[in-house]
Chains A and B, each alone.
Chain A
């Protein structure tokens, strides 16, 4: 199972919306809904932001939403805030788990 493909960086201004993509194959992202997203601030442990493509854990802002189309999953953040600046990772689980390479979100 190869690593999932994410853009290295995305940016947006406060209040705007951004979308981070996560591309796999028909054997992982395309065939299963076991896609999750994590946020990591510098020096901190990652935090679960989305599970099973679009399930938002308790306590995560409803500005975060997830979706999937074909072999690509997406995380959308609306109403960007300065605190959203972080690294974001997707993952997909089949018999093992694989992460994407990570996307650095910069809030301009």
Chain B
């Protein structure tokens, strides 16, 4: 059974750094892209970007290029989304997804709250 299991909720202050994780299981981790999707409170879905763990090919939405970093550790089948300096506007639920031009499996979501 394919599963995408994300790390737990985070509460941070503006300016702090953060790295959230997503562990893929039940499939060949290096053979599929993993992506990240943002959902701000009460709003729609936004695509941040994807990584192909097989060769680390990474693509970002133009809206998020330079704002976040996507990475992966194949040894533990885990992908990451990180920020170097959080803003209040980063407050959202972040979903990891298995990406195949569409998103067939979704993680449970990680709530990131940024507040002073």
A67 to B100, CA, bound (A): 19
Residue of B60, B101, B107 with highest tally of chain A CB at under 10 A:
B101
Whether A48 pairs with B95 at a CB distance below 8 angstroms is no
A102 cross-chain contacts in B, Cβ below 8 A: 44-45
Partner of B104, one of A1, A57, A91, A97: A57
Whether A38 pairs with B45 at a CB distance below 8 angstroms is yes
Whether A45 pairs with B106 at a CB distance below 8 angstroms is yes
Instruction: Knowing A101-B44, A102-B44, say if A93 contacts B104 (CB, 8 Å).
Output: no
Is residue B90 within 8 Å, beta carbon to beta carbon, of the partner chain? no
User: What secondary structure prevails in chain A residues at the interface with B?
Assistant: strand
Is residue B24 within 8 Å, beta carbon to beta carbon, of the partner chain? no
A91 to B46, CA, bound (A): 10
Interface magnitude class on chain A = 20 to 34
Is residue A71 within 8 Å, beta carbon to beta carbon, of the partner chain? no
User: Nearest chain-B residue to A35 (Cβ)?
Assistant: B102
**How many residues on B have C-beta within 8 angstroms of the other chain's C-beta atoms?**
23
User: Nearest chain-B residue to A40 (Cβ)?
Assistant: B45
User: What secondary structure prevails in chain B residues at the interface with A?
Assistant: strand
Instruction: Knowing A45-B107, A46-B45, A97-B35, say if A34 contacts B59 (CB, 8 Å).
Output: no
B3 CB to nearest A CB, Å = 12
Is residue A51 within 8 Å, beta carbon to beta carbon, of the partner chain? yes
Residues in B22-56 with C-beta less than 8 Å from chain A: 35, 37, 44-47, 49-50
Whether B59 pairs with A96 at a CB distance below 8 angstroms is yes
1/0 per residue, CB under 8 A from B, across A53-81: the answer is 00001000000000000000000000000
Whether B104 pairs with A45 at a CB distance below 8 angstroms is no
A61 to B49, CA, bound (A): 30
Instruction: Knowing A98-B47, A99-B44, A99-B47, say if A93 contacts B59 (CB, 8 Å).
Output: no
Query: A34-B102, A89-B45, A98-B61 provided; 5 other pairs, C-beta below 8 A?
Result: A1-B62, A38-B45, A38-B103, A51-B104, A97-B35
B residues with CB within 8 A of A? 35, 37, 44-47, 49-50, 59-62, 95, 99-104, 106-109
